[in-house]
Amino acid sequence: MGLSSEDRSATICETCGTGFPLGSTPSACPICEDERQYVGHEGQRWTTLGTLEQAGYRNLIQDLESGLTGVGTEPKFAIGQRALLVQTAHGNVLWDCITYVDDRSLSAIKALGGIDVIAISHPHYHASMVSWSRAFGGVPILLHEAVRPWVVREDPAIQFWKGSEYPLFGGITLVRVGGHFEGSQVAHWADGAEGRGALLTGDQPHVCADRRWVTFMYSYPNYIPLPARQVNSCAAALAPFAFDRLYGAWWDTVIHSGAHAAVARSAERYVRAVSS
Kindly report, residue by residue over 144-153, the tens digit of the pLDDT.
999 999 999 9
Question: Does one domain contain both 41 and 120?
Answer: yes
Average pLDDT over residues 78-83: 98
> Is residue 150, in this structure, part of any structural domain at all?
no
pLDDT band at residue 201 under the 50/70/90 scheme = very high
Q: What is the mean pLDDT of the chain?
A: 97
| Residue 149, in any domain of the structure | no
Within this chain, do residues 98 and 219 fall inside the same structural domain, yes or no? Answer: no
> For residue 102, is it within any domain?
yes
pLDDT of residue 218: 98
- Do 16 and 136 share a domain, yes or no? yes
Outline where the chain has alpha helix (H).
Answer: 5-9, 30-33, 49-54, 103-111, 129-135, 192-195, 228-238, 259-275
Query: Among 143, 175, 190, where does a domain finish?
Result: 143
Of 112, 143, 174, the residue that ends a domain is: 143
With a CB cutoff of 8 Å and minimum separation 6, the contacts of 140 are 117, 118, 133, 157, 158, 159
41 and 119 belong to one structural domain: yes
Domain assignment present for residue 157? The answer is no
Q: Same domain, yes or no, for 251 and 203?
A: yes
* Predicted local distance difference test score (pLDDT) of residue 2: 79
Give the pLDDT confidence score for residue 3 in this predicted structure: 87
Residue 276 has pLDDT above 90, yes or no: no
Q: Are 129 and 27 part of one and the same domain?
A: yes
Does position 125 have pLDDT exceeding 70, yes or no?
yes
To 10 degrees, the CA torsion angle through 215, 221, 222, 228? -20
Do 173 and 207 lie in one domain? The reply is yes
In a domain, 155, yes or no: no
Do 6 and 138 reside in the same domain of the chain? Answer: yes
- Structure confidence at residue 143 (pLDDT): 98
User: Is the per-residue pLDDT at 33 higher than 80?
Assistant: yes
Provide the pLDDT confidence category of residue 165 given band limits of 50, 70 and 90: very high
- At residue 1, does pLDDT exceed 70? no
Compute the average pLDDT of residues 182-209. 97
Q: If you average pLDDT over residues 20-35, what whole number do you get?
A: 94
* pLDDT mean over 167-192: 98
pTM: 0.97
Residues 2 and 139 in one domain: yes
121 shares a domain with 5: yes
Split into its structural domains, the chain has a count of: 2
| CA atoms of 245 and 196, how far apart (whole Å) | 8
220 lies in which domain range?
A: 165-276
What percentage of residues in the chain have a pLDDT greater than 70? Answer: 100
Domain shared by 270 and 193, yes or no: yes
Average the pLDDT over 159-165 and give the result: 98
Tell me if 68 is assigned to some domain. Answer: yes
Please check whether residue 34 lies inside any domain of the structure: yes
In a domain, 24, yes or no: yes
Residues 219 and 83 in one domain: no
